[in-house]
Structure 1
Amino acid sequence: MTYSQYDPAMQGRAAWNAGKTVGTKRPLTQKQIWAIRFFLDREQRMRDRALFDLAIDSKLRGCDLVKIKIGDLVAGPDIRTRAIVTQQKTGRPVQFELTGDVRASLLAWLERRGGTLDDHAFPSRVDHTHHMSTRQYARLVDEWVTAVGLRREEYGTHSLRRTKASMIYKATGNLRAVQILLGHTKIENTVRYLGVDIEDALLLSERTEI
């Protein structure tokens, strides 16, 4: 439902984005990643460390990340080196890697958390039979970034999704690979998501000598 600007009921009502920073959220740098990890370890927030690490490695949207089940992450007594989930937005599967440090933090959390393969890895604080909400996840990200001196208006859950993808693109210039890792159906979506512009293209061209 939409409203006309001339609707009397809308007079004096602030715009939805008034006072907010809108647009693409910044990815984290390597230094910022380790600053957040240090903060979470210092505060002994084992669940949050595992969630943060998984968000970076998986490159998943928040709606997919919070729904991950223990069985998606473990194989026998070990954490998988690769996992696969079906994306809510596209209905298509996407694979991701789990690196050594991330597997370690996930294993520590899941050993404390307990549960079965069918249980959610990150349960709701209200109902432990359900998964954490995307709103709770967003609040946690706000806490993490502000704790290390970043402005939460400039960072969000998509910052974590974009971080490793942006690093891979800057290191390789391979948009197709990043498209696959993000689970995008069209490469144009990947271009927009990464904020690839003419400056990026020129820098890649300048590095290539013939």
Structure 2
Amino acid sequence: MGPKPPLKAKEIWSIRVRLQVAHRTLDLALLNLALDSKLRACDLGALRIDDVTLNGRARSRDTIMQQKTGRPVQLEITEQTREAAGRWLETKNLHKGKPPVPSRINRARPMTMRQYARLLASWLRAIRLDPLAYGTHSLRRTKASMTYRTTGNLRAVQLRLGHSKIESTVRYPGIDVDDALLIAEQVEI
């Protein structure tokens, strides 16, 4: 089995375009927030309106306490995500303390992990990817993987994910022998 792989940039853009064309504002906001925040599904589901907005406008940053580790992690929200979240929040009458993505059954409760997994599966099927090959953790791994491949800075990835041990972080970007060789080849003495 092993860890589920991160998505590639072209796959993310394919999903985004389909969601935009279909006017699925909630799905687009959720996808973007999941990618930007790099939060686990349980932490993403536990977000409240006041975690992502301030005075009715989407925030660019906040600090979230992780459920699994009890450690704080910085939540970053890009302009693209702020716009998508803003469009979603405009269409709904959501108030401080409420979940930005409510449960289908009880609007006062956050979406379930199962609901989140179903949404992800529908996005993946829409671009002809096998939903069984990916999971909600794939979205957490996606930006971490891209950050590492762009910068080669594993410590930066560790801080963004809120990991206490670098050994945990090494598994996220999918570093393998070929990556290590490529990095080593770029260093000249």
TM-score normalised by structure 1 residue count = 0.87
TM-score normalised by structure 2 residue count = 0.96
1:40-189 superposed matches below 5 A: 40-189=19-168
In the TM superposition, what is the alpha-carbon distance from 1:194 to its structure 2 partner? 2.6
In terms of fraction of residues, the more helix-rich structure is: 2
Give a deviation string over 1:124-177, Cα, whole Å, max 9, x none. 000001000001101110110111011112111111111110000001111111
Aligned length, in residue pairs: 189
Unpaired runs of at least 5, structure 2: none
In the TM superposition, what is the alpha-carbon distance from 1:209 to its structure 2 partner? 2.2
Give a deviation string over 1:80-139, Cα, whole Å, max 9, x none. 111221101000110022111111000000111222111111100000010000011011
Unpaired runs of at least 5, structure 1: 1-21
Checking the alignment, whether the CA contact within 8 Å between 2:148 and 2:157 is kept in structure 1 is: yes
Q: Is residue 201 of structure 1 aligned with residue 174 of structure 2?
A: no
Decide which moves more: 40-49 or 135-144. Answer: 40-49
- Give aligned-pair identity as a percent: 51
Counterparts of 1:159 and 1:146, CA distance in 2: 15
Q: Which runs of 4+ in 1 moved over 4 A?
A: none
Counterparts of 1:169 and 1:156, CA distance in 2: 20
Opposite residue 38 of structure 1, the aligned amino acid is V
Opposite residue 151 of structure 1, the aligned amino acid is D
In the TM superposition, what is the alpha-carbon distance from 1:61 to its structure 2 partner? 0.3
Counterparts of 2:144 and 2:37, CA distance in 1: 10
